[in-house]
């Protein structure tokens, strides 16, 4: 009875929850404030990005031809706006979505609504999943309200339809996980304030907490090593005055940080999942590719996964280098090696979904009737 799950039971509970939310004037106010805030921030971001982008200073030499360069800059501006708005929607969504489920069980229990629901033929799984579906549907309404602003940045250019759809899909799944976390804590904590705080703490650990943990762990993976170092030698120093600068190799004792041992700490972060899941742009090798925050985070995490390079490159993209084997080396090889790595987002998304599943299972077990142990100060009906 506890684990029985039917579409009709889930739909019944979800319908009750949604009708209760729709009748509330606070929900209309939340949607209005959400839309106005996103519209204001999107407009400010667009103005700031266009004012900061000096096309005349950036365009020459990019993409071959002045017109092509201008188009490239326009695409990069649109891509920058899309990434910023995607992260803005993710951040605001993880702030609003917990309020949709963090009090759904203990709030009903305190109000005496939960007990009559448990006396019906509905199972604990149907009650929990129904409440989760209702909370997620409400969260998707937030995402739907934000979609015009995401579409606006998409129309600015530089973003493929696949990147748009993947980003929206990952955002929707992230909101589902957030709602599941709130549902689980609302079944564990007897007070609504406690469940809300615990939900926000959990989301804070997943969001900014994991990158902070990664940074704190960096000193633990540092060690001294003898490394081959490529350095640029200007003309007139060790080379004839009329020759071009060359890149030469030497060996130095350096402190190296082996991030490949702890890169997995970053994988479950929703920001990493969204950034890595978005397909990379086709012109990522241009001078303006660093403008894209999605690509920037994606490449940063893959660099951490790759670990320190065998050769410390201080020459950048200088093509000619003197090596013991007489070969040539460039920073492009490192970029190709980084792009050859498998995607990171499946690991992070799987970890998040398992976390959400765990909290949902916790909510189901806590809704089991008859209850064996009642928290102090909690009434049945």
Q: What is the pLDDT of residue 372?
A: 63
Alpha-helix residue ranges (DSSP H) falling in 156-284: 161-188, 192-204, 210-217, 270-277
What's the distance, CA 76 to chain centroid?
20
- Between CA 65 and CA 59 the distance in angstroms is 9
Q: What is the pLDDT of residue 129?
A: 94
Q: What is the pLDDT of residue 67?
A: 40
- Based on DSSP, count helices (H) and strands (E) in the chain, helices before strands: 15, 4
Q: What is the pLDDT of residue 159?
A: 85
Residue 344 in contact with residue 267, Cβ under 8 Å?
yes
Write out residues in the chain with pLDDT < 50, as ranges: 55-70, 285-288, 319-329, 381
Q: What is the pLDDT of residue 347?
A: 92
| CA-based nearest residue to 96, from 138, 134, 128 | 138
| CA-based nearest residue to 283, from 126, 158, 370, 120 | 158
H/E element, 232: strand 222-233
Q: What is the pLDDT of residue 283?
A: 54
Longest dimension (CA), the chain: 91
What are the structural domain ranges in the chain? 7-215+348-366, 217-339
Strand 321-322, strand 222-233: pairing: unpaired
- Between CA 68 and CA 59 the distance in angstroms is 9
pLDDT in tens, 236-269: 555 555 555 677 777 888 888 899 999 999 999 9
Alpha-helix residue ranges (DSSP H) falling in 229-344: 270-277, 293-306, 331-339
Q: What is the pLDDT of residue 270?
A: 94
Q: What is the pLDDT of residue 206?
A: 92
Q: What is the pLDDT of residue 62?
A: 41
- The pair of structure tokens assigned to 360 is 């949902």
Residue 111's φ and ψ, nearest 5 degrees, are -80, -5
Order across the sheet with 321-322: list the strands.
Answer: 311-313, 222-233, 246-257, 321-322
């Amino acid at each position: 009875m506890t684990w029985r799950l039917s579409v009709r039971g889930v739909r019944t509970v979800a319908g009750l929850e949604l009708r209760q939310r729709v009748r509330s004037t606070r929900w209309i106010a939340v949607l209005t404030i959400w839309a106005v805030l996103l519209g204001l921030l999107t407009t400010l971001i667009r103005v700031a990005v266009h004012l900061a982008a000096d096309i005349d200073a950036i365009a020459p030499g990019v993409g071959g031809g002045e017109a092509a360069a201008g188009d490239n800059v326009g695409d990069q501006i649109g891509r920058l706006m899309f990434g910023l708005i995607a992260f803005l929607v993710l951040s605001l969504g993880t702030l609003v979505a917990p309020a949709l489920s963090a009090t759904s069980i203990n709030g009903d229990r305190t109000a005496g609504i939960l007990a009559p629901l448990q006396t019906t033929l509905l199972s604990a799984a149907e009650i929990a999943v129904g409440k989760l579906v209702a909370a997620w549907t409400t969260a998707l309404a937030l995402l739907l309200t934000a979609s015009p602003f995401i579409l606006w940045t998409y129309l600015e250019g530089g973003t493929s339809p696949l990147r748009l759809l993947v980003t929206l899909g990952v955002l929707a799944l992230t909101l589902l996980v957030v709602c599941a976390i709130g549902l689980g804590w609302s079944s564990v904590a007897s007070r609504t304030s406690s469940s809300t705080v615990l939900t926000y703490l959990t989301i804070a650990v997943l969001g900014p907490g994991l990158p902070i943990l990664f940074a704190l762990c960096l000193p633990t993976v540092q060690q001294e090593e003898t490394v081959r170092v490529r350095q640029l030698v200007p003309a007139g120093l060790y080379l004839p005055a009329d020759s071009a600068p060359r890149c030469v190799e030497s060996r130095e004792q350096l402190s190296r940080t082996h991030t490949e041992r702890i890169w997995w700490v970053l994988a479950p972060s929703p920001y990493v999942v969204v950034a890595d899941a978005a397909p990379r742009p086709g012109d990522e090798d241009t001078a303006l590719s660093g403008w894209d925050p999605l690509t920037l985070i994606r490449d940063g995490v893959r660099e951490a996964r790759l670990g320190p390079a065998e050769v410390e490159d201080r020459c950048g993209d200088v093509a000619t280098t003197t090596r013991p084997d007489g070969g040539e080396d460039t920073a492009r090889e490192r970029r190709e090696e980084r792009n050859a790595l498998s995607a990171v987002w499946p690991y992070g998304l799987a970890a998040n979904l398992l976390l959400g599943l765990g909290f949902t299972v916790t909510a189901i077990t806590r809704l089991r009737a008859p209850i064996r142990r009642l928290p102090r100060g909690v009434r049945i009906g």
